[in-house]
Amino acid sequence: MSEKEKMLDGHLYQPYSSELYKDREFCQGMLYEYNRLSPLHRDERDLILKKLLKCKGELCIEQPFHCSYGYNIEIGLNFYSDINLTILDKAKVSIGDNVILGPNVQIYTAAHPYNEVQRIKGLEYAKPVTIYDNVWIGGNVTILLGVKINQGAIIGAGSVVTHDIPPYVIAAGNPCEVIRSITQEDVHKKW
């Protein structure tokens, strides 16, 4: 089994293998071009993102944007991310339709083993992150490996999401915890 196959299957793997290094190098080259383009060159920016990510349709990721590989990221329709989105996509990151991310959101799928000998060898492992449809994630939120944020949830700014979040709730904090359900009053609120 190659190191890439180990990574994608959730096993301990060596991220410094030549195949994974080349994959990251390709991704970093694409992101270098993306992040250097003028915001006015929207079509060129979109072309780069469509080569790098699996996108269902139009999306907007404000510059700068950073990720590890790109090919492990799937994004649904009507996606928006503010500046400084970072996705360490060592495992699959699935983002549904109508998702909004505030500035400085970080999604981490990778971690290092507790065993110090394995860490010294540079080994790591990865678990997928899933963000379902109609989720809003505030600024400066960190989402850790293996987490699912369910349909319609809202994550408050500055949160660290360490475990699954149920649908249609407002959650915040470090660690992120459910504060309350989203009510009909919230849905019909006039701003």
Please tell me the number of Cα atoms within 13 Å of 72 on its side-chain side: 29
Helix (H, G, I), strand (E, B) or coil at 44: helix
DSSP string over 164-180: -B-TTEEEETTTTEEEE
**Nearest-angstrom CA–CA distance, 135 and 81:** 12
Which sequence positions are flagged as catalytic? 112
